[in-house]
Structures are given as structure tokens and as C-alpha cells.
Amino acid sequence: MGSVTPRILRPEHPAPRPLTGLVEEFGLSVEADLDGLEVTGVTLDSGDVQPGDLFAALPGARRHGAEFARAALDAGAVAVVTDAAGAALLDAGAPVIVVDDPRAALGEIAAWVYRTGEDRPKLFGVTGTNGKTSTSFMLEGLLADLGFVTGLSTTAERHVGDLIVTSKLTTPEASELHALLARMREAGVRAAVLEVSAQAIERHRVDGVVFDVVAFTNLSHDHLDDYGSMEAYFDVKLELFTPDRAERGVVCVDSEWGRRIAERSRIPVTTVASEPGIDADWHVRLWEETATSTSFTLTGIDGGAIEVQIPFIGRHMAIDAAIAILMLVEDGFEMEAIAEVIDRGMRPTLPGRIERVSGESGPTVFVDYGHSPDAFAQTLEALRRVTDGRLIMLFGADGDRDATKRADMGRIAAELADAVVVTDFNPRTEDAASIRAQVLEGARAAAGDKPVIESSPEEAAIREALALAGPGDTVLWAGPGDADYRDVAGVREPFDARAEARRALEEAGWPVHHERVAERAPRDVR
């Protein structure tokens, strides 16, 4: 079955700009006459072309984007920007702007076309392996409570004021990002929060954007299929903390990676820690954890303090909330104003992040997005502290992604949960049974006499997990979060883990809990 393509948010009333101005401003090489041609948008997707677009034909792993240029021109593109290899593939006489590296140039070109450097909103960027989405949602919630019309771009959703659409990439391609920022400006957005993945930095998706404040949450084992080593992964994250990308920063220094970011940052940063004994500008001290909330005090080196209660579970969520608060402080907001909106109650919604789907009686069931060993550890440790009975974990490892973390995912689950059910999670083009075997190897080596069950497909696995659970127990289904698809043998098919968990609960005679469900569409977390 075909999947729904997420909407690309563009300005509704774009202002044309002469292509000759683009060529002159950036000193670009051009083939054919551009006189009289005006551009109103930029895209690298031939299927997304609108009349007046500049089509960016980028080289790909298997095919060159220039192969789709004729379709783009037929759809109304006024010109093509590509490299020399792409230009050689185009029909003679097509309006072509030639650059050495079109992907590297795309951000600055899109910024010029959409004028995103003019009258832009406050921009906040959040990077890290885990916690980007929760920090971003909490920061947007605080900004809205402070009276701002807000924008948001995360793995889960894009927001432009009250408009909500689902995301395809954690950070959109540069052409889409600048179109989104232009749409935000047009809609009166005064502050926007963007998740920034490592891939986005490396692949130039945030080029042409300068953030007012950026934040670093943490760094842990993930994406080594892309970077090969944690050092290479770290180096990409560090690039966000440079003057051409941001003005100020907030860094969690609970880990050695965070302390290295703070030491090597080329912009002023403030630091925050939750671990005792770590030198930092601010400290987080938890004083209450329940099954529905976490309370903490955020204290600065000058003695200033603020008490915070968030409607989420876990120390890691408290750290994310503290980072969101300090990003506002770094941008010049008064602590008294922040404290006032927090006292009224923080009410952000985090789709698929430790999201409870069970009702008031029976086992407590959560569906979560976490899909790395560190994310598993943080969530399981948090749930252990608020679980009276047994802790049961259901999860799988995704295919065509970092295979080196699979055994560790199984090990962490078996060490911290009382029972483990290993299932599938987007095997993509890999053999699902082979992926499960790698996870099970790590789980069984660490489980001792704890149950470790293999169950496929996911519909059966959630019922296996619930069969192990009773009142007072907690079931964590990690990985799918708020996604509404699964990718099997390279084909995306509809699947909603939250809906499936609710069906399984109802079949077992237990009540369920429903949250807001926004329009959903498939996405890639890169």
C-alpha cells in the first residue's frame, strides 16, 4: 500500500526574486540566458516542483538528480542548479546554474530565495543523540506560555502557530527548512525551535541558518553506521557550536562528551548537570518522581533557583526541561517570567515519548520512541522507580541502521527489565529473523533466569508482553513511538503501535487511555 507524503510547508505568498540577482550575489556560473526569469521557491524533489521553482539537482548514491530535471522543468521550474556532472546530463538550452557542490550551496541559495535572514523569528536549535524532541516540545510550550506565536520542527511534527503536520526527516532538507522558516515568518511566528540531527549538520540541511541559542543534550551509541566512531559522531555535533551557526549555547555536562563540547565550543555556553560533583553553572536536583510527573529544583551558581514539575517520567526528562528553561535564560528571558509560567503548570504534549496508552487499572503500558541502548537505560531506570510490580520490555532493532548497537540493546533490556519480549521494528531490507537473533544474543547473555521471549509479528508480541503482566506491572514498548507505519522488505505499510497496544489491552479486558492524535505520515529519523 502506498504511503501518504507529508505536506511541504511553504510561504503562501512568496515574493519573486530575479535569478540574475542570485547569480550576481553568489558569483555563480550560469549556462543559458536568465534575463526575465524570476524564482519563488527551491526544491530538490521533482515531485514537489511548483511553478517558479529553482530545481536543485543533487548527485545521489545511485542516480543523479539531473536525471529528473526535465520533469521538474515541465512542472514549472524556471531553472536548475547542479554540478558539472549534472549539467552534462541536461538538454542543451536548459537554464542551468552550475556550482561545485550543489548540496553545500543549497542552504545559502534557499535562504536568499526565501529571504529567511530578514525579519526572522528567534531561532533555537537542539542537538544530541536522545532528548532532542522532548526538549524542543517543552521549549516551544514555554515560549507559547510566554505569549509567543511559535514554530516547531522535530522528528515528530512541524508546527506553524496552530498548524500541525507530521515530519519526514528529523531536520528537513535545506530547501524545505528555509521554506518552512519563510512560512513561519508569514504566519507571524516570533520564536521557532528546531531539532538538529548530526546528519543535518553534515549534509548541510541547516546551512544558511544562524541560531540565537543551541543546546546539546547528550551523546551515546547510535548512527555508527554513518560515522564509524563516536569521535567522528562527536565532531559533527561540535560544528553546531561555532559562530557561523549559533550565538550562544546550553550544554548538559553529565557526560564526558558534554564536557568536551563545553570546553571546545567557539561560542559562549552555560552548563547544566544533574550528576553530583560535576562542575557546572546550573544543577538539577530531583525531589519527587511519580508515575505521572517528575519534580526538581534548578539551581544556579549565583544561588538563584526555580522549582519545576513536569508531566513526564524520569530524570532524563527533568534534564531536558532544565535545558529548555536555560535556553530561554540564555536568550535574555527573565527567570521570574519563566518561573511564573512554570508555576501555572507545564502542559506540553510529547507524541510517542513515554506515552501512556493504558487506563487507570491493570498493567501500565507505555509506547516510546527510544531506539538506542542509552535511551533504553534512561527510560527503564525511570520506570523502575515508579513501578510497584514487574517491569516488562518489548522492542526490536531497526534494519539498515547501526547494527553494532543491537546486542547492547538486548543486554540493557535484560539487565534492567524483569522480562523481555524481542520483536521486529522496521527491518526494512534486512532479514527480520537475523536482526532478532542479534538482539536476542545480547539479551540472553545478560538475562540469567529472566524470561526472554522472541515473538513476531508485533501484533503477537504486544499480546505476549501483556500475558506476562498484571496490575501493578509496567510494560514498555520501545522503538515505534508515534509512527504510523512499519517498513518490511523495503515496503511501508500502515502500523500504529499505540493503537495496537490499546487493542491488545481491550482484548485482555483492561481499560485504555487516549491522547491527542495528529495527522500522521511516514518519516525517516535521519
What separation in angstroms does the CA of 48 have from each of 32, 71, 165?
24, 11, 16
Which is nearest to 310 in space by CA: 174, 68, 134, 122?
Answer: 134
Tell whether the model's pLDDT for residue 149 goes beyond 70: yes
pLDDT at 169: 66
DSSP H or E run through 309: strand 305-310
Percent of the chain, pLDDT > 90? 82
Q: Give the tens place of pLDDT for each residue, 254-271.
A: 999 999 999 999 999 999
Q: What is the pLDDT of residue 398?
A: 94
Its pTM stands at 0.90
Q: Is the pLDDT of residue 56 over 90?
A: yes
Neighbours of 224 (CB within 10 A): 16
Mean pLDDT computed over 78-96: 88
Q: What is the mean pLDDT of the chain?
A: 92
Mean pLDDT of 289-305: 92
The 8-class DSSP code of residue 520 comes to -
Please return the burial class of 42, using the count of CB atoms within 10 Å of its CB with bins 0-12, 13-18 and 19+. buried
Higher pLDDT among residues 359 and 3, named by residue: 359
Structure-model confidence comparison of residues 184 and 227, the more confident one: 184
The answer, yes or no, to whether residue 520 has pLDDT greater than 50, is no
- State whether residue 294 is helix, strand or coil: strand
Residue 2's pLDDT is 36
pLDDT tens digits along 199-221: 999 999 999 999 999 999 999 86
Cα torsion through 223, 225, 229, 235, rounded to 10: -50
Sequence letter at residue 487: D
Q: Indicate if the pLDDT at residue 521 is higher than 70.
A: no
| Distance of alpha carbon 194 from alpha carbon 209, whole angstroms | 11
Q: How far are the Cα atoms of 12, 339, 355 from residue 307, in angstroms, in the given order?
A: 42, 8, 24
Residue pLDDT, tens place only, 390-421: 999 999 999 999 899 999 999 999 999 999 99
How many whole angstroms separate alpha carbon 324 and alpha carbon 2? 38
- Over residues 469-480, mean pLDDT: 97
pLDDT at site 143 = 97
Q: Is the peptide bond before 457 cis (omega within 30 degrees of 0)?
A: yes
Mean pLDDT across 338-350: 87
